[in-house]
Amino acid sequence: MLEKVILGVTLSLIILLTVGGNVLVCLAVCASRRLRCLTNCFIVSLAVTDLLLGLLVLPFSALLQFREEWPLGPVFCNFYISMDVMLCTASILTLLVISLDRYLAVTMPLRYASLVLPWRVAVAMASVWTVSVAVSFLPIQMGWNTVNGTVQNYGPGASEKKCRFELNRPYVLTDSVLTFYLPLLTMCWTYLRILRIARAQAKRIISARPTCVTSYNCRSNPPTKTTVVCSVTAVALREHKATVTLAAVIGAFVVCWLPYFILFTVLGLKEHPDPSTEPEFTIVLWLGYANSAINPILYGALNRDFRSAYTQLLRCRWCSYSSWRNRQPSPNLNAGRNQVSEATLLCGHTPATCRSAQTDQNLILQEATCRKATAIQFTNGTSAATDANGNGR
């Protein structure tokens, strides 16, 4: 019983993270104008793919873990397996397209806008889904993945209480090479090239501008010098951050999917009649599913614009709830708060950020006062130094 409870909590957490995280990614792109670009079309496509996986596949995969018998019949079993293969393949191929998009953005920054056009983005997304359907529904519904050539889960030897995913050598080799091993090699090559270009650019910046930048805290009274940051250090920090991000992206993909496809290939070459009966197969399968829950973090939370959009969405929810809890019976006050809440939902910001436009003049006056105070302090310091030396310059 304890093992079932732990298993149920773990699987439920993966499903909730997959659904909630990818819904948040879609809402962030819709709510933030800065995120509405062609590049993020691939991010939205990836989020929609992982969201469909969390809604249409993962609940039935969890059902198989708690029931020894399949209660929904062979027709829905084959449909469920086809959806599983199609969505996982689409998720992997979308990751490949994202890596190619970022490779073009880094290697051809001046030609990127002329290369990545809306119709080419649409063709790339259509190609991803065409290949995904071709390796999932077509062979499974035609029986090309079975040893005897019949459709799986049908026939005299098939049991209506079982949901089996049968494998043969040609299907396993074609599916694994086309949908994993080639994309994996391509992603490793593109990210390696991106990392080398980033390091070369960092070295050129360091050799060209070895100066330091002094920062002042102008909002203190009197203004004081706070930090001195060298451009070498800043470039090194940016390079380190880019390295960590790329390592997280490729590392998560390899850790989540490589064990599954290794075992998938081995069992397929042996033509195992029912790989789902192997306990190792179930573990590596859910490890691959977990990549759909990690994708919103890797391609969303590691991006500053996505983090800002996440924060604004969550704050809007909290501000709307607080406004409802603290509402008073005054009609004028209620009308004002409703206007603030409506503006919050429309502009995608919190009431504090929406009111920030009203305080721009005050900030400008404060900055001008700060500069004047800095000049006065510098003049007084120069006069004091002149008096101490006994002569002026």
259: closest CA among 237, 280, 241, 242?
Answer: 280
**Per-residue confidence (pLDDT) for residue 313, from 0 to 100:** 81
Q: What is the pLDDT of residue 381?
A: 45
Distance (Å, whole) CA 61 – CA 45: 23
Coarse DSSP helix, strand, coil percentages of the chain, rounded to the nearest 5 percent: 80, 5, 20
Q: Which residues of the chain have pLDDT under 50?
A: 210, 213, 215-219, 225-229, 321, 328-367, 369-393
In which residue are the tokens 């890596």 written? 99
Tell me the domain boundaries of the chain.
2-314
Classify residue 114 as exposed, middle or buried by CB count within 10 Å of its CB (0-12, 13-18, 19+). exposed
Cα torsion 247, 252, 255, 258 to 10°: value is -100
pLDDT of residue 13: 93
pLDDT at 23: 92
pLDDT at residue 375, rounded to an integer: 43
CB 190, CB 91: distance < 8 Å: no
CATH number, span 2-314:
1.20.1070.10
At residue 230, what are phi and psi to the nearest 5 degrees?
-80, 145
Q: Are 77 and 163 in contact (CB under 8 A)?
A: yes
Position 238 scores a pLDDT of: 55
pLDDT tens-digit profile of 243-273?
566 667 788 888 999 999 999 999 888 888 7
How far is Cα 61 from Cα 55, in angstroms, rounded to an integer?
11
pLDDT of residue 195: 81
- DSSP characters for 327-370? --S-HHHHHHHHHHHHHHHHHSS-HHHHGGGGGHHHHHHHHHHH
